[in-house]
Structures are given as C-alpha cells and as structure tokens.
Chain A
C-alpha cells in the first residue's frame, strides 16, 4: 500500500511540473462547455427568436397593397421605413451583400393584377445558403400564403361557393414530444463531453507512466526495486484517476457556469444544472474514471513509444460514444438490463438527474458496481501485461 501511494504521489508531482501538460489539462475542460454553450445559443437564436419578435424587412412596393401590409403587420412583420431598394436587382444585391436577410418585393403591377384572373406577384428575395435566415424566410412565406388563402376563401364565398372545395384534405400536426425529450439529443452530447474531458484528463499520465517511462528507459531500474509490478501499476493508475477526476470537476464547474447563461427554458427544455446537480453528476461519473484509466493503461502497455500509444488512445477516446449513439438513436429508457453497460448507464443517470426524475437507487448502484468491476478486470489485464518479459522490449 505504501509503495502504491509513493508511486502515485511521484506521478502526480511529475505531471504537475510539466507546464504544457498542465495547461492542456486546465484548458481542455473549458473547451467542451464553451462549445456546448455556443452551439445551444446558435440553435436557440435560429429556431426561436424570430418567431416571437417583430421582424422588420424591406418591402418595396408595399404601398400598392395596404391590405397585405395590414395583414403582415398583424403578424409582427413590419415594413422597414427606410431602405434603398427600388427594383428586384437592388433587392438581390442587398441580400447578397448581407445588408438584409430577406426582402419582400411587391410587383409594380400588383395593384393592377390583384383581383384579376392573373395572379398578383410578390417576390421573396433571400440567400438559401444561409441557414440562419431560413426561419425568417419561412415566417414571411407562411404569412403571405395565409394572406393568399384568406383572400381566396373570401372570393369563393363571394361567388357563393363552399371554401372547403379548395381544401380536400385537412392536415393537422400533433407533436407529442415533451420538453425533456427535445433536450435529449443535446444532453446526450453533454455526457460525451464529460466523458471525453475525463478521459483526456488522464491521457497524458496513462501514456507517460507506461510507454513513456519505458521509452525513457527509467522503467527497467524501477523494476529492480523490491516492489511488485502490480503495486507500481496501481500507483500509476491511481495518479491517472486523480487527474481524470480533476479534469471532470473543472469541466462540470464550467458547465454549471455555462448553463446559467443558456436560454434553455425558451427552447422548452426543463433543464436545471446547478451546483447540486453538478455534484451528483460528478458522483455518477466517479466509477467511470478507474475504468477509463485501466483501459488507457492496457492500450499503452501494448505500445513501445509515447507516440504510438497516443495514436491508439485517440481511438479509445471514441469508445464511450458507442453506447451513447445507440442510446440516442433508440431513445432508450433506464432499465436494469441496460444499467450494466459502462458509459451508457452513466449517461442514463445523468439524463435522469438533469430531468429531475431520480432513478431507483438500485439502478445507480448496479451501474457503479458493474463499471467498477469492468475497471478492475481491465486493471488486472494491465497488471498481467506488465508482468510480461517483452515489456522491456
């Protein structure tokens, strides 16, 4: 036990002295939450803000269509008072240059053609390659279609015809998704960010203390000391776990801060991510750290150099995504038959915590126990690998 503590302390100290490693350890955890916050903000702005807020856009020629203008105004679509657009070419140029997202151009013959057998023409000018503007274009289009339909219905009524003649089918949407369900996809990514941060926190140490130590030729003298190889390896893995948990704690703190600024409720997400939730998520992911450390150590034990180990371990960082992809695709619910799968069981627990639908303690225990058992199995394999003579190459 004393040897394990000695090795662990030395590895922690040595890593803490390596400025580059420490920088990546501290900055890495901030990257995920920052990226997450940006993505959610972009998504929210794209899908929501435009629906609620009045939207001003240039409507050249709108003075010919006072009824249409009134209809649009009622729907929060306001003609921009000052604009330099007179012709369709002007409109195209203004949109291309990015001065306006969308322009509604009323045909100069609108007043003449309106009410005749010819359809009156309006033109929507927009840049389809800008996904940001998509929702605004759709909003304007929907309003104009609604106006067109309303006018059409009135005309049919004036002719004494039943308006439903033109609507043989009636389609209604019934969306049964819950707010929590809608947030599922994003929160699936949250789990992965957390696991990724945890694994990358220990990546350097897992490689350096095995493949790196061998490459620098400090492993052989270490093996001439009266310490079992299992003790050496457990000490190294303990140090790896320590750094993994540090990285996880930093990431969670950053997420807790980021979530405070995210407009999740506006997306209909019932999400809370306060300090208490962060602590609970930390507790859920603690058993994942030894599993990750043992997995990385096993892979690093196969390799001869730091670089080789780094190459293989890049793939290992993707391993925990596999159950998450499965879970997101099938939208699985927590149940005992799934809670033995590491990474998936942590994911299901984190989702439950964020939805504030606590799981049965039995399921959480099952998850922790099986994850730790897998970790112990991998640690045992790592120790076996360390007993090989080929270790010294």
Chain B
C-alpha cells in the first residue's frame, strides 16, 4: 500500500506538487498519469526518499518515508526513468551490485539473480557488459535490479518510454505477474494508450494537483461517450483553462 497525503513540493518559483493525495493498493497497478512537468516524477522521487516533501506525508506499507527512509527504501523497488545501468558491468554484475547494497547475503543473492535471469529471459545477455544493450534489454536488467530484494512495492517512472512494441508487451506481462503476486505497483506515464490496457486505477495529475482519479470504468462513467484519451485531454484541458 502506497499512500500520499497532501504532498507539496516547491522548487524555487515552481510549485511542482500542490497538495497531491492518492493511494495505490496492494495487488493493483496504479497509473500516475499527466503531461510532462505535471509533478509525476517529483512525486515518485519523494516516495523513493531522494527528495523531501515541503509538507504532507508519503507512506510505504504504512511507514512514513521521512521517519525511516532506510526502511522505506528496503520496501521499495525503483525502476528509474533512465535505466541508470553501469556500462562497464555485466547484466549480472549490475543486478548483484544492487542486491548487495540491499543487504542480501551471497547465497540468497545468487539464488535470486539466477531466478530473475530465468524469469526475465536475460540468459543471453547475463554476462555481457551493459554498454551495448538495447533500450529493451536495459529496461529488463533495470527491472531485475529493482526486484532483486523482492520488494512489496514497485515504483516505475515512464517504464515504457523508448521500448518497441514487443518489449512493451513483455513489460506489461511482467507487471501483471507482479500484480498477481499481490505487489503494489505504481507507474507514471504521460501517454494514455500505454497504460489504458494495464492499470487498475488511474490518478491524473496536472500542475501539481490531482485532477481526476478512479478506475478506468469509473472515469468512463463520469465522462460518458468518451474514450480514456478524450477524458485525459478533457480533465487536463479543464485544469489548464482554470490555471
């Protein structure tokens, strides 16, 4: 369970987050949707404790991230916007590095890495250095890296950006598997179609505020005769008209 309550954050003159509240439940995939600069990344960065909020609280599994950031990070797996792999390390070494920093002992680490390589079909590139990887391969390795400590909560920042059709489909399948395991998955995106088929709940943000939230079905009922993309444009447009 990830809960965000009246989160605000200002960078100089820019109010990046202005009282954002939402919750992402276990066993569900929640999509944080909004145009570029809406505050999605800031929100994820506060959840991953890289940034501190000016006000409001963020909880991971009931734990306030500010009270115990180290424990919060142990509960989280993070897939960053850019994979952030080390080009001179192999896929396996990249995953192992994060596993060790997560505090796994060597026996557990080896077991988990082998399992992840099997599950994400990384066998062919496991011992190759990351510098030559395609975007899809980088995302897979970064996902394995985020899962190595078996976190209950997963944050994914624009996970599908730069992926081709097949890689996107694979990623969706893996995220559905993670959901089936009862994990809490929160992902951000600025492209409606990408998340439409995947998410259980939508949180649409614009200008640092939540402008609409609910299941795709609920949103469709609130805006009859429109598809999700039109709803997206409608709520963001309304927000921009108001601003």
Contact = CB atoms under 8 A, between A and B. Distances in A.
Chains A and B come from one and the same complex: yes
B168 interface: no
A224 B97 contact: no
B133 interface: no
B51 A389 contact: yes
Interface string A1-34: 0110011001001100110000000000000000
Contacts of A227: 70, 101
Interface in A36-81: none
Interface residues on B, range: 20 to 34
Interface stretch (A109-117, A149-157, A214-222, A271-279): A214-222
Contacts of A224: 48-50, 73, 76, 78, 80
A226 B129 contact: no
A225 interface: yes
Nearest to B81: A217
B101 A3 contact: yes
B80 A217 contact: yes
Contacts of B198: none
B82 interface: yes
Contacts of A392: 45, 50-51
A389 B101 contact: no
A6 B100 contact: yes
Contact of B84 (A3, A7, A17, A222): A222
B36 interface: no
Interface in A178-224: 216-224
A226 B84 contact: no
A10 B50 contact: no
Interface string B81-98: 110111111000100011
B50 A226 contact: no
B101 A221 contact: no
Size bracket of the A interface: 20 to 34
B80 A220 contact: yes
A217 B84 CA distance: 5
Contacts of A10: 86, 89, 93, 97
B97 A217 contact: no
A14 B102 contact: no
B74 A226 contact: yes
B7 to A, nearest CB: 15
A225 B101 contact: yes
Decide if the interface of chain A is mainly helix, strand, loop or mixed. helix
Given A224-B48, A226-B103, A218 B71 contact: no
A218 B130 CA distance: 13
B63 interface: no
A2 B102 CA distance: 11
B191 interface: no
B129 to A, nearest CB: 7
Interface string B34-68: 00000000000100111110000000000000000
Q: Which of B87, B93, B101 has the most CB of A within 10 A?
A: B101
Contacts of B52: 389
B139 to A, nearest CB: 13
A14 to B, nearest CB: 4
A220 B48 CA distance: 10
Nearest to B41: A220
Give the interface centre of A2, A224, A227 by most chain B CB atoms within 10 Å: A224
Interface in A238-292: none
Contacts of A389: 51-52
A218 B73 contact: no
A389 to B, nearest CB: 6
| Chain B CB within 10 Å, residue with most, of A2, A3, A10, A228 | A10
Contacts of B74: 226
B218 to A, nearest CB: 31
B86 A225 contact: no
Interface centre among B50, B52, B145 (most CB of A within 10 A): B50
Contacts of B78: 221, 224
A10 B82 CA distance: 20
Nearest to B71: A226
Contacts of B88: 13-14, 17-18
A220 B86 contact: no
B73 A225 contact: yes
Contacts of B146: 221
B138 to A, nearest CB: 11
Contact of A218 (B45, B85, B93): B85
Instruction: Kindly name the residue among A14, A225, A392 whose own CB sees the greatest number of chain B CB atoms within 10 A.
Output: A225
Contacts of A7: 101
Nearest to A16: B88
Nearest to A235: B101
24 contacts: A3-B101, A6-B97, A6-B101, A7-B101, A10-B97, A14-B86, A17-B88, A18-B88, A217-B80, A217-B81, A217-B84, A218-B84, A221-B80, A221-B98, A223-B50, A224-B49, A224-B50, A225-B73, A226-B70, A226-B73, A226-B74, A389-B51, A392-B45, A392-B51
Given A13-B88, A392-B50, 15 more contacts: A2-B100, A2-B103, A6-B101, A10-B89, A10-B93, A10-B97, A14-B88, A14-B89, A18-B88, A218-B86, A220-B80, A226-B71, A226-B103, A227-B70, A228-B70
Query: Which 5 pairs from chain A and chain B are nearest by CB?
Result: A218-B84, A217-B82, A17-B88, A224-B48, A226-B73
